[in-house]
Amino acid sequence: MPGKSPSLYDLKKTTVWFAISSLVLLISLVAMVLEDSTREWKHWQKEFVTYSREKAEGELQKARKAVDQKKLAALEAQLVEAHMSANEQKSKVRELEKETAALAIKITQTTMRYQNEKQFQDSDRYFLEEHRLHHEDEQAAEFAKRMEERAPVIDSLKRDLEGLQAEDDARKESINEITQKARELTRQIQQLTESITRLESTVKKLSPNVATAILNAPMLDFMKPTLQIQQIVLENLYDDYFFKKSNKVDRCTTCHLGIDQTGFEDAPKPFQTHPRLELFLSANSPHPAETFGCTTCHGGSGQSVSFTTAAHTPQSDEQAAEWKKDYGWREMTHAISKMLPLSYTEASCTKCHGGVVDVPQAPKLAEGRRLARTYGCAGCHKIEGFEKQWKVGPSLEHVQSKLEPDWIIRWLMNPKEFRASTKMPRIFHLENTSDVKSAEKSDASIAGIAAYLMKNSDPIALGSLPTKGNPEAGEALVKEVGCLGCHTAAGVDANNFGPELTGLGSKVTPEWLYAWLKDPKHYSSETRMPNMRLSNEEAAHITAYLLEDRNEKFESIRLPIVKSEVVDGLAMMFLKGRLRYDDAQAKLNAMSAQERLEFIGEKTIVHQGCFGCHTIHGFEDTKPIGTELTDEGSKDVHKLDFGLIHLDHTRQAWFYQKLKEPRIFDRGKEKVYHEKLRMPDFGFNDDQAERLTTFLLSLQKEDIPLEMSKQLDLREQEIERGRYLVAKFNCQGCHTLDGQEGKVRKVFDDAGNAPPLLTGEGKKVDGGWLYDFLEKPVTIRPWLSYRMPTFEFDEESLTHIVRYFENLSEVPISYKDDTPKPTAENIEAGKKLFKAFQCIKCHKSNPEPGLSASFLAPDLVMTKSRLRPDWVVEWLMDPQALQEGTMMPTFFYDGQSPMPEILGGDALRQSEAIRDYLWLFNAEEAHGAAQPQVPQAG
């Protein structure tokens, strides 16, 4: 060690270090300031300014071109001329201006004097009143006198003032006259070039200049920068930070600058206009930005102002890669709310729109919910709002009368083998149970289920067929009577609501099918299949036709051989769950081979949750087996088991994967048979999986204040109740209703043969009549072979459906007797008009064959019980207005009657007369009216 003082004490060296450190500190401070001022959002705001300026410049050029140059030149020339002529009178103008200036002084002086006098007058009035009140008459008289003296002075001042103003006006008028032409021309020029001026000022405002550069300069930008964070603070919506809720603050518009403005539809991202401005963001849309913000629907971190920290979520891996490259994007692993990928945004609608069958304007979500209902998700999974969900599979209470055990076994092996379009999922022999051991167990379980169902179902009485049906007649009937309203059959695929009618010859007996067709409720009291009121022959024909089709491939599937030791093993596995080994063994020994099979069948039904979709004896009150899904859309991602699968750790990725391959998360895992995942494979395609994922994401609970969420009023609630039933019974399979075209209608070449349109039905028909009709349909259009089936609705459902129709048409509940009270004159006139318009030609009670269906119309005898009187008048006045494309002729074009001699030619009165006549119209009248027509028709 050196004895001398260490070099650190060297002042010179310290100074060098001081210099170095000062320099580095300066650099790091500059870096700090730059780091702070070159923020991502500033870049976008600058880009937006540039973009807007270029856009405005483009528009400016267009505007310049658009101006009529000739006209402009002419106006400018005129202006010059006008100025010249005005200049000639310059001295006069100057003289006049001098005079008005002098007058202005006088006016001011006079005004002042006038106002002063008035002040004194007001003050004196006060004192006069005061003294009078205190009975000081002397003083009062004094003030009264003063006021009296002053009054004429005030009057004369006022007159002077008016005189002066008149003089002034005259002079100004003269000046105006001289300069008027020039001013008028200037105004015209301005008008012509108005858009140019406006755009020029915009461009100027957006062009870079020193002032904005200074305002936006680093360290100076605290004052009033033009680049600044934009934010929307939402009064009634909150971000939940678990221990504290805070108002939502959305700063998305800091970069998405054109989102709420029109004109940026083709702009590059992020400046693009919102694609649904009429529905979102704009002030007069149902969801204005100031009230709902952005993250309420899109999710993400509203307060963040960088691309990554706002928690943008890419749509696909490709987009993720693109974002990483372009924006340095990375996943925000810690964000509470990540943005929903755009394809799933509709999932947010249900936060506020609850209690509805379909969320309006959210097609993907609606489709997802429909799929969830169709495939019966709620059978296994509890979902709030889906409690009333019907069981989607057929009841198995009487299954032994319908099916053979072998068929059940083949079916359970793989339902799609029998019918590719079936909604029954595959439960056994999936990827996690495909090893030999598991497959043996699955085979045994299937045999067990078949055995259990045979044992635990009750037979029903099946009659024999009255005749051997004719398959060809049967095919025609299937196409005509209405089967196609729910089923795909006879090669026609209009509906897939009920099961596709194929291969039935390999499935059921003629006796069962006949009984089923005659009365579905006889076999299953809960079925949604309505009674088509088929005659015995019709039912026999259809039976013959449907049983013709066999699925031979399915019939030839080899039945698995069930080993008794596998059955015993399974039985023991179930028994050991509850009993000690020895007790379990003893119990097993006490069972016969058949009992063992039935036992594992019963346990498998519990394990797989078959009763979620099917009613099965012995499982009436068993709880569903699946995870509750009420909160699934907001479930913590950590709680989803991704297993050993490499997948994005997001809810949507998991849901999608689970729906596509329900057992995939068992891949690579070591599990015993009954611990394996149980969700069956529905065979969803990509679209279906995406829609269902949207639905699952929509199952979230967020505390939205009542005033912010959509509250259904009474009318809307009644409509939703109806919509539920319409969905359950597939009314739209046949009828055009509630904005949706009847699916089966496209099958008919002649629209007259298709089931009727029900748009505006509530306004058209009488509620009481509709109730009766739905309960017990009667023939309205006898020429239709398509028929309204009997659904055997209960009273509550009937009421709901009637109220649904009435509410859709906005018909209020009315207790007024609206039966027409016809006068003799009206009846007479109505009868005449009825004849003249040849109503009976189409509206026949018994239409004879020959006329095309489109020219046939309902029997008018029914009118008085069926239709609403007001509607009839409205209909007669202008049928096309109520139902576009109807074959009903318009008699009163433009409200003009072709029969001026009747009722003074008043179209409205004539319509009422016809209506009144119709209210007296009965079978006799109809017969009478029809008689003279016969020879003409012939």
Partner 1 sequence: MGEAIKAAIDAFASPVSIFVGSILVFAVFMTFPKQCTTRWVSAVFAVLFLAFFAFGLTDEHFRGIVTKPDNVPIVAMLFIFGYFTWFAMKKAVDNDERIAKGEPPWEKTEADEKVMVFPYLIYIEFVVALFCSIGLVLWSIFLKAPLEEPANPTISPNPSKAPWYFLGLQEMLVYFDPWIAGVLLPTFIILGLCALPYIDRDTKTSGFYSYAARKMPIMFFMFGFWILWILLIIVGTFLRGPNWNFFGPFEVWDVHKVVPLVNINLSEIIFIKWLSQGLPSNWFLREAPGILIVLFYFAVPPVLMAKTVCKKIYEKVGPERYGVFIILMLMMLALPIKMFLRWGFNLKYIVAIPEFFFNI
Beta carbon nearer to partner 1, 14 or 525 = 14
Cα separation, 841 vs 457, whole angstroms: 56
| CB-based contact 397:615 (threshold 8 Å) | yes
Q: Which stretch in 28-36, 697-705, 844-852, 882-890 sits in contact with partner 1 by CB under 8 A?
A: 28-36
* 6 near partner 1 (CB under 8 A): yes
* 1 near partner 1 (CB under 8 A): yes
Beta carbons within 8 Å of 543's beta carbon, 6+ residues apart: 465, 469, 474, 510, 513, 514, 517
Q: Which of 7, 29, 115, 686 binds partner 1 (CB under 8 A)?
A: 29
Cα separation, 277 vs 885, whole angstroms: 33
Beta carbons within 8 Å of 396's beta carbon, 6+ residues apart: 453, 457, 614, 615, 616, 617
| CB-based contact 879:890 (threshold 8 Å) | yes
Q: Which of 74, 84, 279, 336 binds partner 1 (CB under 8 A)?
A: 336
* 18 near partner 1 (CB under 8 A): yes
Enumerate residues 364-383 that contact partner 1 by CB under 8 A.
none
Rounded to a whole number of angstroms, the minimum distance from the CB of residue 4 to partner 1 is: 8
CA-wise closest residue to 679 among 640, 637, 626 = 626
Q: Which of 5, 284, 589, 846 binds partner 1 (CB under 8 A)?
A: 5
What three-state secondary structure class fits 248?
A: strand
Beta carbon nearer to partner 1, 142 or 331 = 331
Question: Between 629 and 648, how does the x/- string for binding to partner 1 read (CB under 8 A)?
Answer: -------x-x----------
Rounded to a whole number of angstroms, the minimum distance from the CB of residue 667 to partner 1 is: 14
How far is CA 266 from each of CA 259, 287, 372, 445, rounded to the nearest angstrom?
A: 11, 23, 37, 60
Enumerate residues 850-869 that contact partner 1 by CB under 8 A.
none
Cα separation, 306 vs 284, whole angstroms: 30
Q: Which stretch in 8-16, 391-399, 648-656, 721-729 sits in contact with partner 1 by CB under 8 A?
A: 8-16
What three-state secondary structure class fits 524?
A: coil
Cα separation, 289 vs 344, whole angstroms: 20
* 934 near partner 1 (CB under 8 A): no
Rounded to a whole number of angstroms, the minimum distance from the CB of residue 237 to partner 1 is: 17
* 672 near partner 1 (CB under 8 A): no
262-292 burial by CB neighbour count: b if 16+ within 10 A, else e? eebeebeebbebbeeeeebbbeebeeebeeb
Size, binding site for partner 1 by CB under 8 A: 28
| CB-based contact 292:234 (threshold 8 Å) | yes
Beta carbon nearer to partner 1, 24 or 101 = 24
Enumerate residues 47-76 that contact partner 1 by CB under 8 A.
none
Rounded to a whole number of angstroms, the minimum distance from the CB of residue 871 to partner 1 is: 58
How far does Cα 569 stand from its chain's mean position? 52
Beta carbon nearer to partner 1, 5 or 191 = 5
> Cis peptide leading into 270, omega within 30 of 0?
yes
Q: Which stretch in 9-17, 83-91, 147-155, 508-516 sits in contact with partner 1 by CB under 8 A?
A: 9-17
Rounded to a whole number of angstroms, the minimum distance from the CB of residue 384 to partner 1 is: 19
How far does Cα 923 stand from its chain's mean position? 47
Amino acid sitting at position 113: R
Rounded to a whole number of angstroms, the minimum distance from the CB of residue 189 to partner 1 is: 57
How far does Cα 216 stand from its chain's mean position? 44
* 87 near partner 1 (CB under 8 A): no
* 80 near partner 1 (CB under 8 A): no
Cα separation, 269 vs 259, whole angstroms: 10
Cα separation, 832 vs 838, whole angstroms: 10
Cα separation, 806 vs 798, whole angstroms: 12
Rounded to a whole number of angstroms, the minimum distance from the CB of residue 661 to partner 1 is: 21
Enumerate residues 464-503 that contact partner 1 by CB under 8 A.
none
* 628 near partner 1 (CB under 8 A): no
Beta carbon nearer to partner 1, 134 or 639 = 639
Question: Between 215 and 244, how does the x/- string for binding to partner 1 read (CB under 8 A)?
Answer: --------------------------xxx-
Q: List the structure tokens of 596.
A: 């063992």
Rounded to a whole number of angstroms, the minimum distance from the CB of residue 35 to partner 1 is: 5
Beta carbon nearer to partner 1, 32 or 74 = 32
Rounded to a whole number of angstroms, the minimum distance from the CB of residue 28 to partner 1 is: 4
* 11 near partner 1 (CB under 8 A): yes
Beta carbons within 8 Å of 386's beta carbon, 6+ residues apart: 372, 373, 377, 378
Q: Which of 189, 335, 465, 579 binds partner 1 (CB under 8 A)?
A: 335
Beta carbons within 8 Å of 736's beta carbon, 6+ residues apart: 742, 745, 757, 758, 759
Enumerate residues 273-292 that contact partner 1 by CB under 8 A.
none
Rounded to a whole number of angstroms, the minimum distance from the CB of residue 427 to partner 1 is: 28
* 590 near partner 1 (CB under 8 A): no
| CB-based contact 650:338 (threshold 8 Å) | yes
* 14 near partner 1 (CB under 8 A): yes
* 556 near partner 1 (CB under 8 A): no
Cα separation, 824 vs 24, whole angstroms: 109
Q: Which stretch in 329-337, 480-488, 707-715, 879-887 sits in contact with partner 1 by CB under 8 A?
A: 329-337
Q: Which of 7, 22, 176, 467 binds partner 1 (CB under 8 A)?
A: 22
* 893 near partner 1 (CB under 8 A): no
Enumerate residues 346-365 that contact partner 1 by CB under 8 A.
none
* 12 near partner 1 (CB under 8 A): no
* 38 near partner 1 (CB under 8 A): no
Q: List the structure tokens of 305.
A: 């102002």
Beta carbon nearer to partner 1, 17 or 126 = 17
Q: Which stretch in 24-32, 263-271, 557-565, 783-791 sits in contact with partner 1 by CB under 8 A?
A: 24-32
How far is CA 153 from each of CA 115, 163, 390, 858, rounded to the nearest angstrom?
A: 12, 15, 95, 91
Rounded to a whole number of angstroms, the minimum distance from the CB of residue 737 to partner 1 is: 45
* 703 near partner 1 (CB under 8 A): no
As a whole number of Å, the CA-based R_g of the chain is 43
Beta carbon nearer to partner 1, 29 or 101 = 29
Beta carbon nearer to partner 1, 301 or 456 = 301
Q: Which stretch in 20-28, 574-582, 649-657, 832-840 sits in contact with partner 1 by CB under 8 A?
A: 20-28
Burial bucket for residue 634 (CB in 10 Å: 0-12, 13-18, 19+):
middle
Beta carbons within 8 Å of 913's beta carbon, 6+ residues apart: 825, 826, 827, 829, 830, 833, 902, 903
| CB-based contact 375:423 (threshold 8 Å) | yes
Rounded to a whole number of angstroms, the minimum distance from the CB of residue 223 to partner 1 is: 25
| CB-based contact 156:113 (threshold 8 Å) | no
Beta carbon nearer to partner 1, 24 or 141 = 24
Beta carbon nearer to partner 1, 9 or 222 = 9
* 849 near partner 1 (CB under 8 A): no
Calculate helix-pair angle for 795-808, 767-775, nearest 10 degrees.
Answer: 140
* 388 near partner 1 (CB under 8 A): no
Cα separation, 195 vs 162, whole angstroms: 43
The binding site for partner 1 (CB under 8 A) comprises 1, 3-6, 8-9, 11, 14, 17-18, 21-22, 24-25, 28-29, 31-32, 35, 241-243, 334-336, 636, 638
